[in-house]
A and B are shown apart, each in its own frame.
Chain A
Amino acid sequence: MASISTVNGANFDNNGISAMPQNQYFSKSASFGKKDKKIVTPEEYRHDEIVGKNPVTRFLVNAEKTANIPLVHFPRGLGGAPDYTFYEFLQTAKFPFYVGGPILAALFYAGIKFDAFKSAKPAKKVAKHMALGVGFYYLGTMLAKSLVNTTLKLSRGIDLNQPYRKIIPTSTNQTGFFQKDIEYHNVMESIDFTRWDLLYENGENTQQINKNYNKLAKKYGLKDSNPNDADSTLKPLIRKTIAMGKAWQYALTACFVTLGIGMANQKAWESDNFGGFRNQFDELVRNKNLPDKQRLKNLWKLTEDYAVKPFGKSFMEFWHGQNKVTSIAGKATILTTAAALVLSNLLILTKTSARNFNTERTTGNKPQEVNKK
């Protein structure tokens, strides 16, 4: 089955499958959701390319990726499309990750009323802590990932989240309506199969081709590098960087998530209920009679009172604990997180540095012309 469908240029009409669209190279572009199956010339999609270099396109890429989860990946997966990939499976796995936590908190909240007797109050507290915990869980995950990524970006110029558009050859993409011609992967997502090729530029000579690698070489502190050959020095280092970066992202996630849950469970969040916030929000921020400046000020004040201050307070409460055990647990979590944060940066900065590399100059710094066909 898969075989027949993978034929390039097969005339499907001959097979009695007239409904099957035949275009292989069509664009879905960034305007997701709109199925304009514009047939583009093969040259336009000649090869995979790095996309999302600025925040706007990055956002659009992410939006398209997200929209594709229900629009493309789930239907294809439920149908058992023969060309379904592991990438798609990973995309669908985001759904339970983001849906499960809120549903749990919501179910707990829905359960409060049945406790209406005398335990509603503590139950509400627990629900609030739970909702906060869920929020902090996601926040912790994001924070850990972006902290490491920021370090890498600033120090090594490596963006683990840099997406590229991967063209799915039509040979494995023909299953009809929910077809897929693009996957957005990250350039650095694989240690074993890093997409080095995407970092090369088209150019006349080696130095032009190596432009990106030479930039990275500077970031890596590769003194005295051979601009014609920076890539071969850098590749193992970048591999190392990816491995370390990812390992620390995971480790920091565990730390931050624990810290977040710990903080979400402190008394600082119990001081007021959401009702109080809502009332004040209506009165002080949404109130159109107040001047805008005042409303903005009030908004900040409210944020301070309901988020910033409890956040700081909960941190301190977590640190001090309510008894010996919690005090140790809180301190341990905070210190571990801090230590992990410091250690990760330290290790990434020292171990991936190329400052002490001695590169052998084989061909000198003169650009080498590339043989053109």
Chain B
Amino acid sequence: MAGDLIQKLNMTAQRPMQIQKPAQNQPAATQVQTPIKEKGLEYLPAVTITPPNLEPTGIKPHSPAGRLIKENIFQSAVSTVKNYGNCAKYFYDAAFKGEGTDYSVGKINDLTVRAGSLGIAGILAATKAFPFAKGMEFVGLATWFGSMALWPRIIGIPIKAKTGVDINWKYEDSYGRRKPFLQDPQYLAWDLFRHIDKNGKYNPSAPDYEYLNKIGDKLGVPKNIKNRNEAIQDKIRQVGTQGNTLWMLTAGVMTPVISSIVADALQEPLSSGISAIRVKKATKRIDTLESKLNSILESKQPVEAEKLAESLGIVLDKKFTENLNKHLKPELSSAETKAFNDFLFNELGGTELINAIQNEMKGSTLVEKVLRFDGAMQDAVVKAMDERLSQIKASQFDTATGFLNTAFDKTLTILDEKKVAYSDETKISDLFKNLTIKEKQKVKISSINSLLEFKDKTVGEFKKAIASKDKKFFNIDYIDRIPSLTRADVDKAVNIGNFDNRADGLVGFGQSHTFGELRHIAGERIKSVAGDAKLTQQDVDWIAGQLGEAAQNAAKKYEVSLLDVNRAKKLITLAKVQMEAEKIIKELTKATIQDISESLTANNWQKVPQKYFKAMGFTKSEIRELATADVSTASEIVMRKFDAIASNPAKFEKVVKEISKYAQTAVTKEEKALLKLVGTFEKPGPLIKLKDVIQKTAASEGFSGNINGAVEKHFSRVARELQSKVKNTTNSFGKLIKALDSFRSIDKFVIQELGANVQEFEKLFDTQRGNDKFYTFKNFSYEEAKASFTKFLKRAFIENADINNWQTKFESALDGNPKGIKHSKELLMDLNAFMYGDLSESCSKLLPEELSKKISANSYEMGFRFISMNNKLFRHVSGANTNRAWGYIENMLGKYHNIPKMTANEKAEFTRQIEVVEHMIEARKFELDLGTINSMKEGIKKIKNGLVKYDAGFNPWDYKELFGKQLGEVRSANVILSEQTGKGITELTADAARNFRSRNKWMKLVWGLFGGTAAVSALVISQMGKKNYFNRDIYAKKEGLNANIK
């Protein structure tokens, strides 16, 4: 750069400070800078500034202390921390004192970027304690900052490999400021390289710039040129600029891409880890809770609601307790009552408990709208009635005479118009003599009749009476005589009305009776002062009603609610404790079964179908087809695959084994959680125990069965939901195995139903003419019937077997036969048995025993539910009460008496049947009441015992009613079937395909961006340091004394 420097010196020396003149006019510059032309190689010779042998005199400057930084990862970490320490100091100096340099203030930005990202990360991490989705976001952010720092290192590697230049070189200047070496291409501290030897180490004894020379060789700078050092430096600068620009060009794409890739790769291990932590944490809390529940249940002491929270180790929300105490007052105004009810709703709303509690409190714990007739209130009532009476007195004349006066005026106007003469002496009765009917109607007949009450008075008298408001004239002077009601009157009314025997107030009927009495008293008073006034009952009622209304309105302001504070506190606290305890239990639920987005289940659902998919051996083109196909095409593809697998025993074995492995994991995990939460009959889990504790407390506190029932119902629902979810998973996975298994025997089943050949088929029809199967296949040839029925069965297996589909299929699934299958009860039964029967023996053998049992049992249960459900199908199947469940039990009951004669094999088969029934009862444990279940279990136990020790005196038919009716009744009640059905096979597979494909697409996008950017980077890197438009690489050959020195 020395040559460069000279030019600058020359220029600045000859140019004034302001650039006022065009540079061309500077002869000196032209003079010095004449380029040398020699054999095509041109390079400007450097001119030494100072003669080499001239020693500087005077005060020596400090020797420079700058250095290149070479650090390993630990040293770099230490210096980073140190650096941040400096940054904090820089910040303090700048922000509080306003001291700083460009460097120090610039460094603050580094600190704040880190602090900001730390803040962001902290916020994201805290927003929800480690749930799945948020966790992902957190990883994304962490990887973002990671890859931001990483990318320049990555591109630095090939650049260094190709050119020897490291764009990440850093140096520390004499003031200890750290900077990237190549950051400012106009200011490069080349001196720092003077003593760096060819190995990149600091070595003062090595030839100057040895390292740079080595880089120069790599960069292909000709050796035999003038000022090679300078040429090399220019080249390095070129590479540095190119590298930095490439970094900036690609960082915007590469940072998000790398962070996406890393986040994606971390997703699985991290989410599994997070799930495991959550499950562990939740389990631990539940265990603590359970031990506390146990000790409460074991103790014989009654449980106090208010102490329950403490004994369960639950801390009730402070705000809740504060609010509760604030709202609990023995006497609540109507506003306070509303606030109290709102509070209840806010705290307990959305639970089954709120209604029960409100019912429980109604009328006993919380008595609303109570009126207490104490002094102040009675005074207010008296005052209100008095005021109303005054109002009536003041306005009554106008009210009573208004209409008369109008009619009177109207009449006079009409007479004036007709020019009929009248005078003040004219009697009122004479006024109407000259009016036609029409004119009378105009005045209003009823008003005329009222006016005729004064027929003996003259017009003048009437006018005078109106003008002077003469009440006597109109017979309403009694109004002025109506006396006000007194405290004594109110007392009398209250005492008559007090039906409630409540010294402290009146409610409901008592209130209305009191006000009725007040009205009555008022009425009596009015009548007593009526004198000779013609008083109608209507008039009396109206005035008395007005007074009564005034009294009621005045009283209403004194309405209060009476609250049994202790009992209310107990009720509400108990409900709150239940909610809080449930929250603890639900943490595990969320982590394992329920909340699909953030649980183990979610992971299973995401991963397992993918694995299924692989196990079944779908090809890439099939995946593509499946992913984009509609339902019917998709089911065709799946059907083809199933056929292929079913027809090849070796393949079948492999696929089933593979699938069962994944199914086992998924099902076991969920069942384990269910077992942990709900438990079994013999060993109930914390959820049931919590229910028991709440019920025990309710009983100790003497709450009604109302509360007990609500609690029972609530927990049943929670448990049922959990169970449905687990069944859903089991069915989703089990169905696949069951379908594969059944595909192998569809042909056999079809032949069994339709006969082995045309003759048998026809014979079937001949012998069973009138049979419903006959109608189902009426217009089919044997081949057609076979094909159609086979296809129907396959689709029934493969497509979504939920309620709707089943209904539709049974209606019209066979093409060409509008009557469908539903008309054949026999066919339906067989079909149900086939579809929802046990796994075949050969298939069961391939599965773990437990899973095989589970799948069989579940499959059986679904069959039981489907065939007996209350749908259209049901109506068409006569005698449908003989459902399969009952059939099973009947079979079992009937067989009991044969036990002594049974062979071992028969006994085993019998045991199996009993176990199925047991499973059914177990499955329905939340739908039946406890008594029924216990009786059933008792019956089963006895039948089972009979296998070991036969009891001739035991009559199993005693249980017929119980099993037949009860099980039958609940078969469809309380269960949302679609919650349990599981995913249809086609849906499962197509979803997996779509999942697979869009994931591939995403991968392609991300990796495509990665590849594209990497390619651009590679291309740019390949051109780095090369001669180009900006860097023409024109060198001058070495000459003079040193020409031959290399």
By a beta-carbon cutoff of 8 Å, the part of chain A in contact with chain B is 1-4, 6-10, 14-15, 17, 24-25, 42-43, 46-47, 73-74, 76-86, 89, 92-93, 95-101, 103-104, 107-108, 110-111, 113-119, 121-123, 125-126, 129-130, 167, 169-172, 175-177, 190-193, 239-244, 246-248, 250-251, 253-255, 257-258, 261-262, 265, 322-323, 325-326, 329-330, 333, 344, 347, 351-352
A250 touches B248 (CB 8 A): no
The reply to whether A119 and B99 contact each other, CB–CB distance below 8 Å, is: no
When chains A and B are docked, how far (Å) is the Cα of A253 from the Cα of B112? 8
Q: Which residue of A lies closest to B20 (CB)?
A: A46
Main secondary structure of the interface of A (DSSP, over half): helix
Q: Which of B116-124, B328-336, B564-572, B818-826 contacts A (4 or more CB under 8 A)?
A: B116-124
Contact indicator A81/B241 (Cβ below 8 Å): yes
A329 in contact with B108 (CB, 8 Å): no
Q: Which A residues are CB-close (under 8 A) to B264?
A: 111
Rank and list the top 5 A-B pairs by shortest CB-CB distance, nearest first: A77-B245, A240-B98, A8-B23, A99-B252, A80-B238
Contacts known (A79-B1030, A171-B7); A9 close to B29, Cβ less than 8 A: yes
Measured CA separation A46–B115 after assembly (Å): 44
User: Which one, B195-203, B880-888, B1000-1008, is touching chain A?
Assistant: B1000-1008
Q: How far is the CA of A37 from the CA of B257 in the complex (A)?
A: 40
CB of A80 within 8 A of CB of B241, answer: yes
What A residues does B8 contact at CB under 8 A? 6, 171
B1030 and A81 within 8 A (CB): yes
11 A-B pairs with CB atoms under 8 Å apart are: A1-B43, A4-B42, A6-B4, A78-B249, A80-B238, A104-B144, A126-B134, A191-B101, A241-B98, A258-B123, A261-B119
Given A8-B26, A123-B133, A126-B137: A171 and B11 within 8 A (CB)? yes
**Given known A-B contacts A77-B241, A114-B995, A176-B1029, A243 and B1002 have beta carbons under 8 A apart:** no
Chain A min CB distance to B1017 (Å): 11
Task: Determine whether the beta carbon of B1030 is less than 8 Å from that of A175.
Answer: yes
B186 within 8 A of A: yes
Q: What is the total number of residues of chain B having a CB less than 8 Å from a CB of chain A?
A: 114
Residues on B with beta carbons closer than 8 Å to the beta carbon of A190? 102
Contact partners of A46 in chain B: CB under 8 A = 18-20
Fill in one digit per residue for B251-270: 1 if any A CB lies within 8 Å of its CB, else 0: 11101110110001000000
Query: Which of B19, B129, B251 is most buried by chain A, counting CB atoms within 10 A of its CB?
Result: B19
Name A77's contact: one of B91, B242, B999 (CB within 8 Å).
Answer: B242
Is B602 an interface residue when CB atoms closer than 8 A count as contact? yes
A93 neighbours in B (Cβ, 8 Å): 248
Q: Enumerate B226-258 residues with CB–CB distance to A below 8 Å.
A: 230-231, 234, 237-242, 244-246, 248-249, 251-253, 255-257
Chain B residue at minimum C-beta to C-beta distance from A47: B18
Which one, B350-358, B799-807, B1031-1039, is touching chain A? B1031-1039
Residues from chain B with Cβ under 8 Å of A171 in the complex: 7-8, 11, 23
Least CB distance, B86 to chain A, in whole angstroms? 14
Q: Does B596 contact A (CB under 8 A)?
A: yes
Inter-subunit contact A1/B133 (CB<8 Å): no
Partner of A96, one of B30, B93, B99, B255: B255
Beta-carbon contact of A25 and B249 below 8 Å: no
A117, B991: Cβ atoms under 8 Å? yes
In the complex formed, the residue of B with least CB distance to A14 is B35
Decide if B259 touches A104 in the complex (CB within 8 Å). yes
Name the A residues within 8 Å of B134 (CB-CB): 126, 265
Instruction: Give the shortest distance, in Å, between A72 (CB) and chain B (any CB).
Output: 12
The verdict on B100 contacting chain A, using a C-beta distance below 8 Å, is yes
Please state if B119 and A254 are interface contacts (CB–CB under 8 Å).
yes
Chain A residues near B1030 (CB-CB < 8 A): 76, 79-82, 175-176
- Nearest CB on B from A330, distance (A): 8
Q: Is B947 an interface residue (CB 8 A)?
A: no
Q: Is B606 within 8 A of A254, CB to CB?
A: no
Choose among A100, A250, A251, A323 the residue with the greatest number of B CB atoms under 10 Å from its CB.
A250
Are A107's CB and B22's CB within 8 A? no
Residues of chain B having any CB pair with chain A under 8 Å: 1, 3-4, 7-8, 11, 18-26, 29-30, 33, 35, 42-44, 90-91, 93-102, 105, 108-109, 111-113, 115-116, 119-120, 122-124, 126-129, 132-134, 136-137, 140, 144, 148, 183-187, 230-231, 234, 237-242, 244-246, 248-249, 251-253, 255-257, 259-260, 264, 596-598, 602, 605-606, 609, 991, 994-995, 998-999, 1001-1002, 1005-1006, 1009, 1020, 1024-1025, 1028-1034
Closest to B1024 in A: A80
Flag if A253 contacts B116 (CB, 8 Å). yes
Question: Chain A's nearest CB lies how many Å from the CB of B348?
Answer: 20
B995 x A116 contact (CB < 8 A):
yes
Output the least CB separation between A139 and chain B (Å).
14
Give min CB distance, B120 to chain A, whole Å: 5
Q: Are A261 and B21 in contact (CB under 8 A)?
A: no
- Residues of chain B lying within 8 A (CB to CB) of residue A192: 101-102
Q: How far is the CB of B682 from chain A (nearest CB, A)?
A: 34
A176 to B3, CA, bound (A): 21
Q: Report the separation of the CA atoms of residues A247 and B237 in the bound assembly, to the nearest whole angstrom.
A: 31
Q: Which of A111, A118, A251, A352: most chain B CB closer than 10 A?
A: A111
CA distance A265 to B11 in the complex (A): 59
Chain B residues with Cβ below 8 Å from A42 are 19-22
List 10 other contacts, CB 8 Å, given A122-B597, A192-B101, A241-B98.
A8-B29, A107-B1005, A243-B93, A248-B95, A250-B91, A250-B112, A254-B119, A265-B134, A322-B127, A333-B123
Contact of A246 among B94, B237, B606, B1028 (CB under 8 A): B94
Write the chain A residue with the least CB distance to B45. Answer: A3
B371 CB → nearest A CB, Å: 42
- Taking the closest CB of chain B, its distance from the CB of A81, in whole angstroms, is 4
Set A86, A114, A243: member contacting B186, Cβ < 8 A: A86
Q: Nearest CB to that of B246 among chain A residues?
A: A78
Alpha-carbon gap, A240 to B234, bound state (A): 38
Contacts known (A4-B33, A9-B26, A9-B29); A79 close to B1029, Cβ less than 8 A: yes
* Complex contact A261–B123 (CB within 8 A): yes
In the complex formed, the residue of B with least CB distance to A348 is B98
| Partner of A257 from B116, B244, B1033 at Cβ < 8 Å | B116
Instruction: Report how far A263 CA is from B372 CA in the complex, Å.
Output: 53
Complex Cα distance, B30 from A76, in Å, reads 27
User: Are B94 and A243 in touch, CB under 8 angstroms?
Assistant: yes
Q: Are B7 and A119 in contact, CB atoms less than 8 angstroms apart?
A: no
Across the interface, do A108 and B260 meet the contact criterion of CB distance under 8 Å?
Answer: yes
Q: How far is the CB of A52 from chain B (nearest CB, A)?
A: 22
* Closest residue on chain B to residue A176 by CB atoms: B1029
B498 CB to nearest chain A CB (Å): 50
Chain B contacts for A10, CB-based, 8 A = 30, 33, 35
CA distance A322 to B260 in the complex (A): 28
Nearest residue (CB) in A for B122 is A329
| A126: chain B residues within 8 A (beta carbon) | 133-134, 136-137
User: Smallest distance from the beta carbon of A5 to chain B beta carbons, Å?
Assistant: 8
When the two chains form their complex, are residues B1029 and A177 in contact, meaning their CB atoms are under 8 A apart?
yes
Complex Cα gap A119–B124 (Å): 19
With beta carbons under 8 angstroms apart, the residue of A2, A9, A111, A176 that contacts B1002 is A111
* Chain B contacts for A257, CB-based, 8 A: 116, 119-120
CA A261 – CA B126 in complex, angstroms?
12
A24 to B65, CA, bound (A): 39
- Given contact pairs A8-B24, A104-B256, A119-B606, A347 touches B140 in the complex (Cβ within 8 A): no
Closest approach, in angstroms, between the C-beta of A215 and any C-beta of chain B? 21
Q: Is A103 in contact with B252, judged by CB distance below 8 angstroms?
A: yes
Q: In the complex, are the beta carbons of A191 and B100 less than 8 A apart?
A: yes
In whole Å, how far is A130's beta carbon from the nearest beta carbon of chain B?
A: 7
Query: Smallest CB-CB separation from A91: which chain B residue?
Result: B248
The answer to whether B29 touches A89, judged by C-beta atoms less than 8 angstroms apart, is no
On chain A, the residues within 8 Å of B1002 by CB distance are: 110-111, 113-114
B122 and A92 contacting across the interface, CB-CB below 8 Å: no
Expressed in whole angstroms, the minimum distance between the Cβ of A244 and any Cβ of chain B is 4
User: Which residue in chain B gives the minimum CB-CB distance to A258?
Assistant: B119
Closest Cβ neighbor of A81 among chain B residues: B1030
Q: Which residues of B contact A15 (CB under 8 A)?
A: 35, 42, 1034
Taking a contact as CB atoms closer than 8 A, the residue among A107, A118, A323, A329 that contacts B596 in the complex is: A118
